[in-house]
Amino acid sequence: MSGSALLQQRLVARLDERRNQHLLRQRRNVASPQQPDVAIDERQLLSFCSNDYLGLANHPTVVAAFKRGLDEYGAGSGASHLVTGHTTAHAALEEELAAFTGRSRALLFGSGFMANVGVLTTLPGDNDHIFEDKLNHASLLDGGRFCGASFRRYPHLDIARLEASLKAAEGDGLSFVVSDGVFSMDGDLVLLDELLRTAERHNAVVMIDDAHGFGCLGANGGGIVELARAQGVIVDEQRLPVLVGTLGKAFGTAGAFVVGSNDLIETLIQFCRPYIYTTALPAALAVATRESLRIVQRETWRREHLHALVKRFRRGAAQLALPLLDSPTQIQAILLGSPDRALAASRQLEAQGILVTAIRPPTVPPGTARLRITFSAAHTEQQVDQLLDALMSLQLPELAA
């Protein structure tokens, strides 16, 4: 049998296995902008599964800024940042992101996945150690695996287990502690104060990816860091030297950024392969993001409304005795256990005109398939009530277990 035939045989077997386990993923065709009411697969649905948390992906002034950027810079950047792809728009956005986060410098990346893999394949050496929360985003986990350092995962939010691992690694290279700020599938928060104090006791470097916190948490949208500072926790470049954020969620555009000291950013510019050898984001996108960054800071009502919607939903979910995970954020998960139950619930909601994605392994651990509900400042209270009414009508006895 030829190599091509053997490969085809392997591909079919892998796909059949995933299909039989109710784990096969399928893409949906969206024919409208990102907003609560979306046209998808030729149907109009009320969506509760977008990461457009502040409703900026289709905001008129952000769209207008994107158009201005196209007129000024064209559609593509043409090269990497180190050749001719770095424009005045990119430079201005980096300066504004640094000011927004209170850091010395910022560096733009094409995606959050690239940023995390780039940082983790640049900073740790082969003799170093990386310790990551078990529920970290795949980009953090893959970056840890790719870099060549010793890689270990600790149980979710288990600071005691983390400390034991750090203690065992002392005296043998540099240790890195890496965590999400807001965990993308559960919606809960890193125990930042405890994590920082534990890392300090063992001279470890801390890296936080606050993809789902920026824009949504803190009075000014500064994310998990601003939230911690409001509680009296000291968080600066010394205690938290590596901070990552994405632009495709609360900011409503695309791309990502790393913020930190001048030496950190300069090191990434010189040595980070995913940064060096990638075409820069279109400058028009940077122009649009500068506008969304201004809205994030200026229109505080968006965060206030978002948090009010979350509280309204959680009150209603408690009355329905839904198996809701403990989350104070815009990410709310209803734990259903098996993939087939999660799929059935998602399909029943869609039959009622509501789009909520069923999240299944390997995205989440086995036995924890769920409905992942996300809220946006563009949602209304009436739409939240509509979702609760639809959840109440689900024909799934296991929901109340």
* pLDDT in the model for residue 401: 40
DSSP track, 51-116:
--TTS-TT-HHHHHHHHHHHHHH-S---SBIIIII--HHHHHHHHHHHHHHT-SEEEEES-HHHHH
What is the length of the chain?
A: 401
Contacts of 93 (CB under 8 A, 6+ apart): 106, 108, 286, 289, 290, 293
Q: Which of 36, 89, 59 is nearest to 292 (CA)?
A: 59
As annotated, the active-site residues are 184, 212, 249
pLDDT at residue 394 tops 60: yes
Where is pLDDT greater, at 264 or 1? 264
Contacts of 82 (CB under 8 A, 6+ apart): 269, 276
In tens, the pLDDT along 163-177 reads 999 999 988 899 999
* pLDDT in the model for residue 399: 43
* pLDDT in the model for residue 396: 67
pLDDT at residue 26 tops 90: no
Mean pLDDT calculated for residue range 190-209: 98
pTM for the full predicted model: 0.94
Instruction: Answer for the pair 200, 194: CB distance below 8 angstroms, yes or no.
Output: no
* pLDDT in the model for residue 102: 97
How many Cβ atoms sit within 10 Å of the Cβ of residue 232? 7
Helices (H), 236-337: 262-271, 273-276, 283-298, 301-319
- Cα distance between residue 40 and residue 153, in whole Å: 38
Instruction: Answer for the pair 262, 105: CB distance below 8 angstroms, yes or no.
Output: yes
Mean pLDDT calculated for residue range 285-300: 98
| Domains identified in the chain and CATH numbers | 29-58+300-400 (3.90.1150.10), 60-298 (3.40.640.10)
Angle between helix 88-101 and helix 60-73 axes, rounded to 10 deg: 140
